[in-house]
Amino acid sequence: MRKSSKRGAIIFSLIGFILLSFATLLEEKYHEVPVVSFFINLVGHIGIGFIVIGVLSILVETSHWVDYFKERLTEIVIDRKYLGNLSQDELINLQTDILKAF
């Protein structure tokens, strides 16, 4: 994981925790006002979204996942192993599309 993407994921998570804490603190004070309560709940949900984005960013950008996607893309784009999985009709359609494009 690159430093900049890890830093970004941590910042997203921190912003999420701050928004969620802010919403929780304000909820105690303004829970009886419907309009304000709606916006407080909205801020809380946005905070949860930021936390989830940060955690998923950290998980997806681990070296295991990066290596996995590099390997899969190599198989698909360079080795063209996916061609062995296509049916005869799909191969004929692919060949027709290639000839039209050529």
Question: Residue 93's pLDDT is what?
Answer: 92
Q: Is the pTM of this model over 0.75?
A: no
pLDDT score of 1 more than 60: no
Domain that holds residue 96: 3-101
Quick one: average pLDDT of 20-45? 86
20: which residues sit within 8 A by CB, 6+ positions away? 44, 47, 48, 51
Q: Give the CA-trace dihedral at 27, 33, 36, 39, to 10 degrees.
A: 70
Number of domains in the chain: 1
CA 26/CA 8 separation, integer angstroms: 27
Quick one: average pLDDT of 69-78? 81
Q: What is the mean pLDDT of the chain?
A: 84
Percentage of the chain surpassing pLDDT 70? 95
